Structure 1
Amino acid sequence: MENIQLKKVTLIDIDQLQKIGRQTFFETFAESNTEENMKEYLENSFSTEKLHSELSNTNSEFYFAVEKETVIGYLKLNFGASQTELKDAKALEIERIYVLKEFHGKKVGQLLYEKAIQIAKETKSDYVWLGVWEENHRALAFYKKNGFVEFDKHIFRLGNDEQTDIMMKLQLRVS
């Protein structure tokens, strides 16, 4: 844990971001989804063009968790209009926290999560919110343990499959 560094991702890191993004998403969801749906999602959501656009967006930030020069996980945050849904200027969205499977249980996700909360406090966000697939029990337990509460549901499309995400939020301060 002490040898894991967090590093802000920039455009020069786009290849590494694409690699870690595709690999962690695949590891997390491949066994629950069809090969076609996974292939389409990985190609589109982690295309060089899409990542270039996301990295160039001043209302989104990415951070790598790095151990001995190797990227082992990452975090994506959205502010204001870049949020996938609520688009609340007083909120911060954690769009993604993904960690390579071999590093699960080693507190890498917690480290990335704590970075998100630190940024939320620095930007004076009233609350942090996110969506978690209802079948991702590991992630749901993680966020509940960190004080998040369920407040809504929404549909997440993976190829031709409609899945339900549970929307959760953590109040940081009363506005």
Structure 2
Amino acid sequence: MEQIEIISASLEDFKTIQLIGRQTFLETFADNNTEADMAKYLEESFNSQQIKAELANPDSMFFIAWENKNPIGYLKVNSGKAQTELHDSNAIEIERIYVKRTHHGKMVGQLLYNKALEMAIHQNKAYLWLGVWEQNPRAIRFYEKNGFVAFDKHIFKMGNDEQTDIMMKKILTPAS
């Protein structure tokens, strides 16, 4: 495996974020959702205007995983008012860790998660939190392995379908 670099993304990277987002979301969720719901979600969440707005938000940060000159995944974290829920100044939300299927099992997701953890510790946050679809056992296991525990549930709108996400958090201690 080639060396993987995690690089902070800027507004100029919107097309890369958009393409990885669409590809990985389809790879992960297309088999369990209708074509209409997938198309609606992808258009709402990954259109150019939406991605540019997210990249321009000072309370959100994106990091792209690169293998050579190929983007293979990305991380989106939110603090402050950019958080999708909670809006806790003592927390960072991991909104997305997306990795291309070709790179599953190659530690890319772990590297991206480590970047989020590093940010949270550096900023002296009390915890990290996220929402993960209850029907995504691979992701749930990944977060549990990294010390997250379920604390609530919320509704995630996938097109016209209301789905349940498990909300998970990891309490940070000085030795995290």
Question: What's the secondary structure of 2:109's corresponding residue?
Answer: helix
Per-residue CA deviation, residues 86-132 of structure 1 (Å, 9 max, x unaligned), is 00000000000010001000000000000000000011110000000
- Indicate whether 1:114 and 2:114 are aligned: yes
* Structure 1 runs (4+) greater than 6 angstroms displaced: none
Q: Residue 142 of structure 2 corresponds to which residue in structure 1? A: 142
1:12-161 maps to which residues of 2 (within 5 A)?
A: 12-161=12-161
Q: Percent identity?
A: 57
Q: Kindly state the Cα deviation for residue 159 of structure 1 after the two structures are TM-superposed.
A: 1.0
Instruction: Give the total of aligned pairs.
Output: 174
Structure 2, unmatched stretches of 5+, are none
**2-structure distance, mates of 1:61, 1:21:** 15
Structure 1 length-normalised TM: 0.97
Amino acid across the alignment from 2:54: E
1:2 shift after superposition: 6.2
Shift of 1:173: 3.3
Structure 1 distance, partners of 2:8, 2:56, is 13
Alpha-carbon distance in 1 for matches of 2:38, 2:128? 28
Q: Distance in 1 between matches of 2:160 and 2:80?
A: 29
Write the deviation string for residues 44-92 of structure 1: whole angstroms up to 9, x where unpaired: 1001111111111000000000001000000000001110000000000
SS of the residue 1:85 aligns to: coil
The residue identity in structure 2 corresponding to 1:162 is E
Q: Which runs of 5 or more structure 1 residues have no equivalent in the other structure?
A: none
Output the CA distance in 1 between the equivalents of 2:41 and 2:107.
27
How many Å separate the matches in 2 of 1:35 and 1:96?
A: 22
- Per-residue displacement from partner, 1:147-174 (whole Å, max 9, x unpaired)? 1000000000001111000000000039
Whichever residue aligns with residue 117 of structure 2, its letter is I
Q: Distance in 1 between matches of 2:31 and 2:69?
A: 29
Q: Which amino acid aligns with 1:93?
A: E
Distance 2:9 2:114 in 1: 17
The TM-score, its normalising length taken from structure 2, stands at 0.97
The one-letter amino acid of 1:117's match is L
